[in-house]
Amino acid sequence: MTVRDRGDIVAAKRIVVKVGSSSISGENTAQIGPLVDALASAHARGVEVVLVSSGAIATGMPYLRLDQRPDDLATQQAAASVGQNLLMVRYQDALDRYGVIAGQVLLTAGDLENATPRSNAQRAVDRLLALRILPIVNENDTVATHEIRFGDNDRLAALVAELIGADLLVLLSDVDALYTRPPHLDGAERIAHVPFGDELDGVEIGSAGRAGVGTGGAETKVSAARIAASAGAAVLITATPLVADALGGAAVGTWFDPAPRRHTSLAEAPLA
């Protein structure tokens, strides 16, 4: 279906939710439970839910005795290798309360830029959803290089939403909405609604989030919102603690209208 406003969310058939590293790691690890509660509630009413989760590197850092995000690629890859396993265990432990099984999907930018792996990725996610599995997608940080990385999981989430024809993309972070200027500054006002094609002239878009852990911010979220909206998915930007309200259609966050017509970038490709 086409989701045109918040009132349509409860009837959405396919939703992609993205959560950032700073929201589910370190002192915020406990937010995994409420996040899963909200996803499981949507799953129970028949929604096909895909979670795009950052956090592998941040989760692995303490086990490598790292106090801050490493700069070199090899150490990032090592932290991701350790953290991805632990992150999936935490999600599955939380999902066990609802009898929901998670499926891990790791992608690189090349997987979605080339027709054959892109087709394979779409088919795999579609099949997981048909089997009532909750796919958890992350960038494959263990093998990705600087040259082929998505850059941030906001963009990955938008491309996944486009790939699978999602009705709605929800981008979660530490900030409850998009503001006319960084929200800690005087005069910042929440932007409740962004019509399709609005260039947000006069809006000061800066980075946000807990320094040293995540890689995204308001700028990457707006860019991702435009990608997904252009593909025909509505987009909602809000804070992780508000995810249950968001999926229930409450008037939270910043809403981006979808394009009038849906499209997908998926080209026909042979199965492999």
Task: Check which CATH number belongs to the domain holding 209 and give it.
Answer: 3.40.1160.10
Report if pTM > 0.85: yes
153 annotated binding-site participant: yes
152 annotated binding-site participant: no
CA distance 118 to 267: 8
18 annotated binding-site participant: yes
268 in any annotated domain? no
271 in any annotated domain? no
141 annotated binding-site participant: yes
Buried b (16+ CB within 10 A) or exposed e, 146-159: eeebbebbbbbbbb
29 in any annotated domain? yes
Looking at residue 264, its pLDDT comes to: 56
1 in any annotated domain? no
For 28, the domain range is 6-256
* Beta strand pairing call for 102-107 and 14-19: unpaired
Q: Vertex 220, ends 7 and 156: CA angle to 5°? A: 80
248 in any annotated domain? yes
185 in any annotated domain? yes
The answer to whether 180 and 204 have CB atoms below 8 angstroms apart is yes
Looking at residue 211, its pLDDT comes to: 41
174 annotated binding-site participant: yes
Residue 67 burial by Cβ neighbours in a 10 Å radius (0-12, 13-18, 19+) = exposed
**pLDDT by residue, tens only, the chain of 272 residues:** 789 899 999 999 999 999 999 999 999 999 999 999 999 999 999 999 999 999 999 999 999 999 998 888 889 889 999 999 999 999 999 999 999 999 999 998 778 888 999 999 999 999 999 999 999 999 887 776 654 456 578 999 999 999 999 999 999 999 999 999 888 889 999 999 999 988 888 788 765 444 444 445 788 899 999 999 999 999 999 999 999 999 999 999 999 999 987 765 544 444 44
37 annotated binding-site participant: no
Looking at residue 206, its pLDDT comes to: 65
CA distance 233 to 4: 9
265 in any annotated domain? no
251 in any annotated domain? yes
| Domain count within the chain | 1
DSSP letter string, the chain: ----SGGGGGG-SEEEEEE-HHHHSGGGGGGHHHHHHHHHHHHHTT-EEEEEE--HHHHHGGGGT-SS--SSHHHHHHHHHHHHHHHHHHHHHHHGGGTPPEEEEEE-HHHHHSHHHHHHHHHHHHHHHHTT-EEEEEE-TTT--TTT--SSHHHHHHHHHHHHT-SEEEEEESSSSEESS-TTSTT--EE-EE-TT---TT------S-TTT----HHHHHHHHHHHHHTT-EEEEEEGGGHHHHHTT-S-SEEEPPPSS----PPP----
**Residue 208 CB neighbours (<10 A):** 23
Looking at residue 210, its pLDDT comes to: 42
Tokens 């989030």 sit at which residue?
A: 209
CA distance 61 to 202: 38
